[in-house]
């Protein structure tokens, strides 16, 4: 037998640890054999047959990536051994060798309906054969029809839509609108927040990995106005036992009293932090924060780039779960299940302030984007994807909570619907963030067993689980089993 050749030299490592070590040191064929020997259930079936990959080799692709792509492209390439993606279908991806992966990151929560969703693909193909592009200096039906449909999914008075190409651009415009409307300048955001990578939104983003040592965003103020957005989140508490709200509000009051002018322009908050590691806020915290911001002349902005379009399950928009009414809502990512699109939705009053000047966007609201966005809204309803996010997400949270109780290095499991984060620690006593090397080992192992997830957190200590909203309980079981095995493999090695 193959594994009879694994050497034993008196090392006290367990058989599982030896197999794990052999698995990581061996080539692709041996890796598959090693994984198969472990207690991992079969990957859920899929009857879709991908096309055979033809084209340049992996070696040539990496050579060109190094030569012709900005070095940042190499820096952000996931995994020590990259995944060479070839084709996708719903929650599945295939690499160039035909290996199938369960995609539990969905292009950073972007492929909301799944890869190449048939209904959306059909709508895009029909529009492509009709009209690819024109701008909003002309009147065409797709733009008006989509804006009406999108607005119908938001409560009054959030009914005025401006379409963009990305979440960063949407947040840029929301910053501009807030300053024009209030006449104030300073904007408040949370520690651990991520609102984009453009020069303006970089000032809102409070995560050092995404900051550059250059001036940005004018005098925008980024404050740790509530430790609601820290990595040192408290251990899991059953519902009704959260005691953090008073502390967070106290810190917000202190920030207003010591660090900000008497009048501010706006307050940005993700309903659940994405890049920060699925960080949630205490009950009623946003209600109180919104009130304090408005008392100081500011408007409240909900960044729904990751939480919108049913991903949190219980509501279509994340802010609805907090029972608050923002003045501006920004969105992107899942809005068009991977097609470049974003939007700013606000009130008629704030929109009128923006109309005092002229702003033009060449591609925002183009016929392709509007048609795809409309098909996404239809499919979310027709396929019951919000309800599925609630059912599968809640189930997965309960299963992951068992891993938190089982493994010393799983510090917290949090989230809502299919916006989930798993915080990893050295131990539950010190709660020191798990090292980046250890995170990488678990991350790589999970990928090798056929599941793709993401990473985040202030210290890079969170695994992010944000799959397409079409995933099933069987998919969730497979992911949890693989993740459990990857954690155990690491524990056996250390």
**Could you tell me if residue 488 is inside a domain?**
yes
CA–CA distance, 177 with 265 (Å, rounded to integer): 9
Nearest to 76 by CA among 213, 215, 275: 275
The domain boundary, picked from 315, 347, 382, lies at: 382
The CB density around residue 374, as the number of other CB atoms within 10 Å, is 21
Q: Is the dihedral of CA 436, 437, 439, 440 positive or negative?
A: positive
Query: Is 362 in the same domain as 410?
Result: no
Angle between helices 473-493 and 15-25 (to 10 degrees): 100
CATH of residue 480's domain is 3.90.1150.10
Query: Is 268 in the same domain as 328?
Result: yes
Query: Is 72 in the same domain as 135?
Result: no
pLDDT values of the chain reduced to their tens digit, one per residue, 494 residues: 222 222 222 333 333 343 344 343 333 334 443 444 457 889 999 999 999 998 899 999 999 999 999 888 887 788 888 999 999 999 999 999 999 999 999 999 999 999 999 999 999 999 999 999 999 899 999 999 999 999 999 999 999 999 999 999 999 999 999 999 999 999 999 988 999 989 889 888 887 778 888 877 654 554 544 333 333 343 344 455 456 888 888 889 988 998 899 999 999 999 999 999 999 999 899 999 999 999 999 999 999 999 999 999 999 999 999 999 999 999 999 999 999 999 999 999 999 999 988 998 999 999 999 999 999 999 999 999 999 999 999 999 999 999 999 999 999 999 999 999 999 999 999 999 999 999 999 999 999 999 999 999 999 999 999 999 999 999 999 999 999 999 999 999 98
Query: Is 107 in the same domain as 134?
Result: no
- Which pLDDT score is estimated for 145? 97
- Which pLDDT score is estimated for 240? 52
**Could you tell me if residue 1 is inside a domain?**
no
Query: Is 58 in the same domain as 165?
Result: no
Contacts of 300 (CB under 8 A, 6+ apart): 266, 267, 269, 290, 293, 294, 324, 326, 327, 328
Contacts of 486 (CB under 8 A, 6+ apart): 442, 445, 446, 449
Total domains, the chain: 2
Measured CA angle at 191 (ends 323, 256), to 5 deg = 75
- Which pLDDT score is estimated for 59? 92
Nearest to 450 by CA among 21, 20, 3, 41: 41
**Could you tell me if residue 311 is inside a domain?**
yes
C-alpha dist (Å) from residue 267 to 189, 195, 262: 6, 12, 14
Q: Is the dihedral of CA 105, 109, 110, 112 positive or negative?
A: positive
Query: Is 56 in the same domain as 132?
Result: no
Query: Is 273 in the same domain as 125?
Result: yes
Residues 242-273 as b/e (b if ≥16 CB within 10 A, e otherwise) read: eebbeebbebbeebbeeebeeebbbbbbbbbb
CA–CA distance, 442 with 403 (Å, rounded to integer): 14
Is the CB of residue 223 less than 8 Å from the CB of residue 189? yes
- Which pLDDT score is estimated for 247? 85
CATH of residue 285's domain is 3.40.640.10
**Could you tell me if residue 6 is inside a domain?**
no
**Could you tell me if residue 8 is inside a domain?**
no
User: What's the Rg (C-alpha) of the chain?
Assistant: 23
Residues 40-58 as b/e (b if ≥16 CB within 10 A, e otherwise) read: beebbeeeeebeeeeeeee
Burial of 434 (0-12, 13-18, 19+ CB in 10 A): buried
CA–CA distance, 453 with 99 (Å, rounded to integer): 16
- Which pLDDT score is estimated for 215? 75
Query: Is 70 in the same domain as 195?
Result: no
**Could you tell me if residue 22 is inside a domain?**
no
Query: Is 182 in the same domain as 322?
Result: yes
CA–CA distance, 159 with 411 (Å, rounded to integer): 41
Is the CB of residue 290 less than 8 Å from the CB of residue 426? no
Measured CA angle at 207 (ends 204, 208), to 5 deg = 115
CA–CA distance, 95 with 93 (Å, rounded to integer): 7
Is the CB of residue 267 less than 8 Å from the CB of residue 298? yes
Query: Is 101 in the same domain as 127?
Result: no
CA–CA distance, 338 with 106 (Å, rounded to integer): 9
Residue 83 sits at φ, ψ, to 5 deg, of -90, 125
**Could you tell me if residue 9 is inside a domain?**
no
**Could you tell me if residue 485 is inside a domain?**
yes
Query: Is 355 in the same domain as 249?
Result: yes
Is the CB of residue 292 less than 8 Å from the CB of residue 256? yes
The domain boundary, picked from 382, 404, 419, lies at: 382
- Which pLDDT score is estimated for 243? 66
The domain boundary, picked from 382, 398, 430, lies at: 382
Query: Is 328 in the same domain as 435?
Result: no
Look up the domain containing 399 and give its range: 39-113+385-493
């Amino acid at each position: 037998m193959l594994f009879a050749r694994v050497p034993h030299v008196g090392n006290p490592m367990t058989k599982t640890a030896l197999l794990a070590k052999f698995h990581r040191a061996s080539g692709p064929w041996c890796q598959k054999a090693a994984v198969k020997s472990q207690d991992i259930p079969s990957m859920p079936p899929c009857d879709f047959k991908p096309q055979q990959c033809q084209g340049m080799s992996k070696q040539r692709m990496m050579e060109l990536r190094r030569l012709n792509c900005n070095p940042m492209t190499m820096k952000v390439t996931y995994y020590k051994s990259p995944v060479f993606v070839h084709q996708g279908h719903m929650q599945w991806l295939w690499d160039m060798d035909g290996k199938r992966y369960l995609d539990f990151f969905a292009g950073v929560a972007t492929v909301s309906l799944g890869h190449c969703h048939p209904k959306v693909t059909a709508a895009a193909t029909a529009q492509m054969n009709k009209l690819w592009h024109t701008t909003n200096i002309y009147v065409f039906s797709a733009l008006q029809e989509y804006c009406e449909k999108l607005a119908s999914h938001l409560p009054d008075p959030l009914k005025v839509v401006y379409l963009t190409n990305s979440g960063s651009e949407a947040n840029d415009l929301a910053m501009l609108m807030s300053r024009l409307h209030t006449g104030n300048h300073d904007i408040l955001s949370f520690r651990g927040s991520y609102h984009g990578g453009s020069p303006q939104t970089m000032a809102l983003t409070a995560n050092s990995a995404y900051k550059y040592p250059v001036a940005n965003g004018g005098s925008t103020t980024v404050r740790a106005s509530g430790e609601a957005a820290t990595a040192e989140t408290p251990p899991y508490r059953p519902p009704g036992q959260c005691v953090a709200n008073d502390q967070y509000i106290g810190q917000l009051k202190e920030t207003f009293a010591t660090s900000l002018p008497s009048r501010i322009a706006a307050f940005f908050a993700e309903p659940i932090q994405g890049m920060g590691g699925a960080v949630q806020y205490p009950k009623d915290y946003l209600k109180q924060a919104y009130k304090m911001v408005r008392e100081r002349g500011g408007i409240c902005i909900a960044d729904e780039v990751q939480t919108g379009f049913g991903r949190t399950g219980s509501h279509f928009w994340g802010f609805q779960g907090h029972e608050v009414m923002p003045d501006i809502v920004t969105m992107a990512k899942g809005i068009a299940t991977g097609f470049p699109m974003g939007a700013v939705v606000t009130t008629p009053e704030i929109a009128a302030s923006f109309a005092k000047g002229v702003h033009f966007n060449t591609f925002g609201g183009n016929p392709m984007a509007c048609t795809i966005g409309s098909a996404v809204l239809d499919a979310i309803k027709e396929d019951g994807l919000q309800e599925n996010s609630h059912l599968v997400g809640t189930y997965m949270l309960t299963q992951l909570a068992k891993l938190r109780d089982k493994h010393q290095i799983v510090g917290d499991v949090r989230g809502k619907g299919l916006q989930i984060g798993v915080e990893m620690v050295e131990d539950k006593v010190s709660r020191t963030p798990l090292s980046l090397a250890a995170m990488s080992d678990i991350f790589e192992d999970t990928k090798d067993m056929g599941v793709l997830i993401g990473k985040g957190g202030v210290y890079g200590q969170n695994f992010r689980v944000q799959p397409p909203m079409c995933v099933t309980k069987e998919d969730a079981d497979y992911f949890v089993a693989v993740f459990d095995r990857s954690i155990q493999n690491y524990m056996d090695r250390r």
